[in-house]
Amino acid sequence: MKCLVVTGGCGFIGSNFIRDQLARYPEQSIINIDKLTYAGNPENLKDVDSNPKYRLQKLDICDHEMIQALLNATKPDAVVNFAAESHVDRSILDSGPFIQTNVVGTQVLLDACRQANVSRFVQVSTDEVYGSLGAEGFFTEETPLAPNSPYSASKTAADVLVRAYCHTFGFPGIITRCSNNYGPYQFPEKIIPLFISRALDDKPLPVYGKGENVRDWIQVLDHCRGIDAALRQGRPGEVYNFGGHQEIRNIDLTRLLLELLGKPQTLIEYVNDRPGHDLRYAIDCSKAERELGWKPQVAFRAGIRETIDWYKGNAAWVNRIKTGDYLKYYEQQYGDRHRKTGAN
């Protein structure tokens, strides 16, 4: 593969994916399309910004004319779509941006990729499209889609669009769905970085309801390696699930974080539950293991320790996120380099 386009590459998972791709495939060029909204932080990739094989292009995936022009000019071998509004609480307050980016943006990418004859498209989705599980069972690729939040509904719509393009046009699309990610560069509105940050400042950790909701956690690099396997080995038209084989209740996750941080359990604060809060997510990823030869490698407790160490060692990054100064900081440090045009 000579050229790969990644959308939303300045976000948490996308930035980890790009860094891993550049390390594993040094001959491959990567064009990162990102709108640079609140969670799209160019600083996440400052360590590769000078790499001649990497280019950041500030664009909105809903801008069909600009997206089409870029794909026609660069002729990428594949597109991996991470670009999405992704926070459930924000979607409950205002679903509009989620419909626009997650649904309309995906439709724009699909049409542009068809016109540019892109030979591979990976839609990065979420296990939340499956809805909620009871105390037993696992989500498989055959589980009916039953989203329960505006966020998951928008991701479901995008997935169904990809499926329809595969069926109608023979489009070379692949869908990946993953359980909850954790690791470096995660925007601190999500539970693990939020609780690490608040605990370090000796602030209360707000746990929804009684904290009995269960999530399956996967270290972000394990997920990125799964996406890479689907990109290079997956079958067009197929769905692949990725999970970490690590289920834990939110309250037990909170207690573990406090334990590893050496902070008192009295920092736990129970708050009113989120509307429509799904009880349990758990992934059956045997299809990915069987067809792609992929398995999660990072043990949960060790991965959480490494994540805590990363946030402790990157306090300046966290503080810039808290104050909203990260885009200003990037402009001061790197000028107009994220507006580069032309192919690498």
Q: What are the residue numbers of the active site?
A: 127-128, 151
**In this structure, which amino acid lies at residue 279?**
L
Q: Are 303 and 182 in contact (CB under 8 A)?
A: yes
| CA end-to-end distance (rounded Å), the chain | 14
Judged by phi (left if over 0) then psi (alpha if -120 to 50, else beta), residue 4 lies in: beta
Distance from C-alpha of 318 to C-alpha of 219, rounded to nearest angstrom: 19
Tokens of 97: 């941006």
- Extended beta strands in the chain, E state: 3-7, 29-34, 54-58, 78-81, 121-126, 173-178, 180-182, 205-208, 214-219, 239-242, 247-249, 268-271
For residue 179, give the 3-state DSSP assignment. coil
Distance set, CA 271 to CA 94, 263, 288 (Å): 21, 20, 37
> What letter would DSSP give residue 324?
T
Short-list 180, 205, 210, CA closest to 261: 205
Distance from C-alpha of 273 to C-alpha of 269, rounded to nearest angstrom: 12
Q: Are 87 and 151 in contact (CB under 8 A)?
A: yes
Tokens of 159: 């997935």
